[in-house]
Amino acid sequence: MPHGLFITGTDTEVGKTLVACALIHACRRAGMRVVAMKPVAAGCYQTQDGWKNEDVEALRAAADVDAPLDEINPYRFVDAIAPHIAASRTKVAIDLPVIRERFDLLSRRADAVIVEGAGGFLVPLNEREDFGDLARALALPVVLTVGMRLGCINHALLTQEAILARGLPLVGWVANRIDPAMSVFDENLETLKQRLKAPLLGVVPRMDRPDASAVRLDLPNGQMPSTSFM
């Protein structure tokens, strides 16, 4: 039975990759073999080995199971813009069944698959579907990365509503202190603890050089949830 998590965030640039990598390390400490997946990456650069993406490379480095890049990252775009716009510009259709097929391949390679989205939960993938539809298609429970800054309470609660409206379990959330000067941080954290219907898995401090291996996060309910909740 496959196990995995879908990592989403309250916005772009809130630390989803750092949180995903930290959860990979948590799984590894629990004795699990872990592979990462970022189905769609916008903002790629050319190398001798082809087009790559910094987030994808960080996820691969954190995991202890590797796989072909086309499984880990089926869709890659050069421009760091909304995925559906990047896809339209390059005449590419982002296809959920293709992503599901690659996810199934990855789930056979490891004990758990950590999947990172792009942007926020409702960022479009194509004319009809968004990342919420992707999480549902993969039947993955969700971990929410909250970028701790002014406005995060509203963003977090709206994202929670969207996750629950899709019938997906929100199994945990992580507070990432992206603004070290945030006013009344403790009070904001306490409000989120009271209003988000999932456990706080950890608080990520502000780091000048982010290091996922140094971030200690709990696993939801102390273990990796099964993907077969639907």
| pLDDT per residue as tens digits for the range 109-128 | 999 999 999 999 999 999 99
> pTM for this structure?
0.94
Residues 6+ apart with CB under 8 A from 204: 15, 18, 19, 22, 174, 175, 176, 177, 215
Assess if residue 94 is contained within a domain.
yes
Percent of the chain with pLDDT over 90: 89
The number of domains in the chain is: 1
Domain that holds residue 11: 3-222
What CATH number should be reported for the domain holding residue 180? 3.40.50.300
Assess if residue 182 is contained within a domain.
yes
What would the pLDDT profile of 4-52 be if each residue is shown by its tens digit?
Answer: 999 999 999 999 999 999 999 999 999 999 999 999 999 999 888 778 8
Query: What pLDDT is attached to residue 50?
Result: 78
Assess if residue 228 is contained within a domain.
no
Rounded-to-integer distance, Cα 152 and Cα 29, Å = 30
Active site members: 38
Assess if residue 162 is contained within a domain.
yes
What would the pLDDT profile of 185-210 be if each residue is shown by its tens digit?
Answer: 999 999 999 999 999 999 999 988 88
Q: Which amino acid is at 171?
A: V
Assess if residue 218 is contained within a domain.
yes
Assess if residue 139 is contained within a domain.
yes
Residue-level length of the chain: 230
Assess if residue 185 is contained within a domain.
yes
Assess if residue 229 is contained within a domain.
no
